[in-house]
Structure 1
């Protein structure tokens, strides 16, 4: 009891000062504080994991090395965000994350739309002869569908909560909707460089556009994150399943800048077309919701 009193006496004034500062600080300052805290808490964990996983700086991360690092980073995000919400006296609902059943319906619709948009784009590529489907590899799917689905839902949910939820909402307090969308999408794209630089650089324009489309998805869902979460998870799940099972084999009929450099759809015109198709559907959905 005595030590508890000492701790309260020492830290309570500091917490109150920090709370008062963040409540009155511009959104950009709150955003910077969040990312600094997120990185600061994660770096010691990442350093320890790098030693355990025997990763050497300068060498590309292998999938079995990247996954523990990614999971540790993303598990921290809700905790840091909860602290930010407590300090700024807001709530998760202010960032579009609702705890009612409606978010599950939006999640399912978004997931289906994400899959549908990719099906349309790949069917066109098959028809044009730009790629072919490796039927012999279908047998690999049953063992990977559920694990990748869980990862896709986890990654998509955390990234939407952070980037289209917290980041976009805080920036919107001080900037116009368009500026907040552009900046949050730029940060979303740039932070993918943390994992892989060589393969990510060609994807940066596509990642930025993906961020913009997901902002539109939030607007189409009346400010909620369910639709954006579903879209994000659907894209991640479908592409990861195709890559892991090696179901797509690209031909040399067109440049890889069309189909996707390094076999990454977002690094090619096909991936851009998929995002634009989704944006058109969301735009129509948004205007229907306004009526």
Structure 2
């Protein structure tokens, strides 16, 4: 029976090996969404979410985790069909990626601590801390989610997508397009709060491409930076650590809707990181 289907299987796989990069990219994203939709529908029923209602944080986290856990499986299938290796996408299977992850995570956290420290110093916001007992568990759970989100997004956008686009375009064009897709896909979850962040998200994508080059093609440093930024911002939001003194007056600095990437402070943080990474090349 296996011999009967062997010619078909080998022919099918060989066709995907020779498929244009844009076909592989579209097939990956379509397969990812199609496979996730049944899971999402089940979760929306379980979580009692209705289409016209805004997503609550716990509902969004459940949907995000289910989507992101599925991505590596779809990518493994894509790699098998196209005869690609994860290493080509920067997923290096040794301890060097963990070292880069650790360094990038620390760098991401320190850069945001500096930015918020400056805002506190100039009086744009005030620090507060309540419910101390929940802080350790909250920080740890957010870190796990941040590592998952950062790892999957880097694997998909700076790994798979950028590498595929690089087969068609120059490095800079591939970086621009992959970063634009990265930014626009954030609109899937929230439009009102995400739209002012689009320039910042695009710049963040470009900087994370630089991080991959600075790390000799590995995704470790980009993963660490991404996870460090997500962890820091999500921790501040979840624990409500910051009170902004005048939202309307200084939001062009602190960020519209309290989102750092929608303001000068967040753009400055990303820009400085990008400058340092460029000098490392």
Task: Provide the TM-score with structure 1 as the length reference.
Answer: 0.92
Q: Which runs of 4+ in 1 moved over 3 A?
A: 7-10, 12-18, 135-140
Counterpart contact for 1:130–1:259, Cα < 8 Å: yes
Q: For 1:250-265, list aligned pairs within 5 A.
A: 250-252=244-246, 254-265=249-260
Indicate the residue corresponding to 1:212 in structure 2: 206
Is residue 28 of structure 2 the alignment partner of residue 31 of structure 1?
no
CA distance in 2, matches of 1:211, 1:267: 15
Indicate the residue corresponding to 1:289 in structure 2: none
Indicate the residue corresponding to 2:36 in structure 1: 42
Counterpart contact for 1:141–1:241, Cα < 8 Å: no
Unaligned 5+ runs, structure 2? none
> Cα RMSD between the aligned structures?
1.6
CA distance in 1, matches of 2:43, 2:7: 35
1:146 alignment partner, one of 140, 144, 147: 140
Deviations, residues 41-75 of structure 1 (Å, cap 9, x unaligned): 11111112112211111211111211221111111
Question: Which deviates the most, 227-236 or 134-143?
Answer: 134-143
Return closer, same or farther for 1:13/1:37 CA change in 2, 3 Å cut-off.
Answer: farther
Q: For 1:108-119, list aligned pairs within 5 A.
A: 108-119=102-113
Is residue 172 of structure 2 the alignment partner of residue 174 of structure 1?
no
1:92 alignment partner, one of 83, 86, 89: 86
Is residue 77 of structure 2 the alignment partner of residue 74 of structure 1?
no
Deviations, residues 85-116 of structure 1 (Å, cap 9, x unaligned): 11111110000001100001100110111011
Indicate the residue corresponding to 1:278 in structure 2: 273
Indicate the residue corresponding to 2:59 in structure 1: 65
CA distance in 1, matches of 2:258, 2:277: 26
Is residue 101 of structure 2 the alignment partner of residue 107 of structure 1?
yes
Return closer, same or farther for 1:108/1:136 CA change in 2, 3 Å cut-off.
Answer: same
CA distance in 2, matches of 1:8, 1:210: 50
CA distance in 2, matches of 1:262, 1:132: 16
Deviation at 1:9, TM superposition (A): 4.2
Deviation at 1:15, TM superposition (A): 4.0
Is residue 157 of structure 2 the alignment partner of residue 163 of structure 1?
yes
Q: Count residues in correspondence.
A: 280
Deviation at 1:140, TM superposition (A): 4.0
Unaligned 5+ runs, structure 1? 287-291
Deviations, residues 210-260 of structure 1 (Å, cap 9, x unaligned): 101100000000000000000000001111111111111111184312211
Task: Provide the TM-score with structure 2 as the length reference.
Answer: 0.95
2:122 alignment partner, one of 128, 131, 148: 128
CA distance in 1, matches of 2:279, 2:198: 26
Counterpart contact for 1:138–1:245, Cα < 8 Å: no
CA distance in 1, matches of 2:114, 2:250: 20
Deviation at 1:136, TM superposition (A): 4.1
Counterpart contact for 1:95–1:161, Cα < 8 Å: yes
CA distance in 2, matches of 1:60, 1:9: 52
